Amino acid sequence: MTVYLDHAATTPMLPAAIEAMTAQLASVGNANSLHASGRGARRVVEESRERIARALGCRPGDVVFTSGGTESDNLALKGIFWARRAADPRRVRILSTAIEHHAVLDPLDWLAEAEGAEVELLPVDDRAHLRLDALRESVERDPASVALISVMWANNEVGTLQPIAEIVELAAQHGIPVHTDAVQAIGVVHVDFAASGVDALSLTGHKVGGPYGVGALVVRRDLQVSALVHGGGQERDIRSGTLDPPAIAGLAAAIEASVKRQDHHATRLRTLRDDLVRRVVEAVPEAHLHGDPEVRLPGNAHIGFPGCEGDSMLMLLDARGIECSTGSACSAGVPQPSHVLLAMGCDDDQARHSLRFSLGHTTTAADIDALVEAIGPVVERARAAKAGVR
């Protein structure tokens, strides 16, 4: 039996999403066609847009369907940067954080390299909270030159929730748009687009119990966004390409269902997670939780195991049917020391000795029991391997 503790990587589809998606798979219709079949497909797309809008506190017209989180982030960063700079050439700075996902960091690198953007990755504290003082200082140094601010809602590795309200308040004083990558947040913490005051928000299907390959950028209608993908003019002319009604229907059903049960779900995950952390630390006294013990995603347990290497532990747990993540990006299958932990002040060794356990809607108390039972021997072996003792 597999113990799946990697829901932050991807989570199983919710039954409602499977049902909504499969119901559409056999239907024909290009949402841009004018006949009855086309209208049928268009209706599925627009009803899905409305359901998402209701669940997330935005207007239907704010929802731009994409292929997922990475595309949404690229569209927000490049599209808003280009449009804002075109309106005022002084706007060349992009302020973000050192702990963003690579779907944000890499487009920012590209913008700096290819487009002359001045990217500032602001520091975080040792619990991975954005240092608001640093952001304030950076904005106030020259507010007119800031094209946009992009800060993730919740960190994907250590789960720390970012101070979105304070960021929005600061940005609003200077009329700077704020983008947030909320891929990890939807359905597990309360996210209301309008109430949050952000201008653009990235989400993806497969992290909320929907299908792979579909997501959205929720972006205020009155914010100019330059297109990345040109073609038939779909999605406000921001994102061309024939719409995918089955995937969009699955996405909407997943968002609706996960937002509806969010309170209850979060409470359940928090209880299981706290139990996991307490019992793992009991079994391995040197182990410690990374990030903020309170202000974090309810399903996230990111734990450091001194003297071990994360990839050894991952392999040993995998052999016992327990699946988790080292929580860091891979380059050609090789885990790199986590840039998030490095930004939190960990050294290279500490950045490699961690595992991320992420809980989700299929997680049970028995999963936690299995992990707690395995972790002691696994740590012992991983330590021996690191120390070079046979």
Partner 1 sequence: MRILAAMSGGVDSAVAAARAAEAGHDVTGIHLALSRNPQSYRTGARGCCTIEDSNDARRAADIIGIPFYVWDLSDRFHEDVVEDFMDEYAAGRTPNPCLRCNEKIKFAAVLDRALALGFDAVATGHYAQLRNGTDGLVQMHRAVDMGKDQSYVLGVLTQDQLAHSLFPLGDTTKDVVRREAADRGLLVADKPDSHDICFVADGDNAGWLKEKLGDRNPNAGGDIVDSSSGEVLGQHDGTVGFTIGQRRGLRLGTPAADGKPRFVLDIEPVSGTVSVGPRDGLRIDRISGIRPRWCGTVPSVLAGPDVTVQLRAHGREHRAVVRVAVDGDDGDDGDVAIELLDPAEGIAPGQAAVIYDGTRVVGSATISATARSSALDRALA
347 binds partner 1 (CB under 8 A): no
Out of 58, 308, 324, 330, the active site residue is 330
334 touches partner 1 (CB under 8 A): yes
Please report whether residue 316 would count as binding partner 1 according to CB under 8 A.
yes
User: Smallest gap, in angstroms, from Cβ of residue 381 to partner 1?
Assistant: 6
To the nearest whole angstrom, how small is the minimum distance from the Cβ of residue 385 to partner 1?
A: 4
Residue 159 structure tokens: 């789960």
| CB nearer to partner 1: pick between 165 and 319 | 319
Taking CB under 8 A as the rule, does residue 332 contact partner 1? yes
Q: Is 384 in the site for partner 1 (CB under 8 A)?
A: yes
Binding residues for partner 1, total number by CB under 8 A: 19
Does 330 participate in catalysis according to the annotation? Answer: yes
114 binds partner 1 (CB under 8 A): no
The smaller minimum CB distance to partner 1, of residues 185 and 382, is found at: 382
Q: Does 229 bind partner 1 (CB under 8 A)?
A: no
Question: Can residue 264 be called a binding residue for partner 1 (CB under 8 A)?
Answer: no
Q: Does 59 bind partner 1 (CB under 8 A)?
A: no
What is the nearest approach in angstroms of partner 1 to the Cβ of residue 354? 16
Other C-beta atoms closer than 10 Å to the C-beta of 333 total: 5
Looking at beta carbons only, is 154 or 378 nearer to partner 1? 378
Active site residues: 330
Which residues would be at the binding site for partner 1 (CB under 8 A)? 311-312, 315-316, 318-319, 331-335, 381-382, 384-385, 387-390
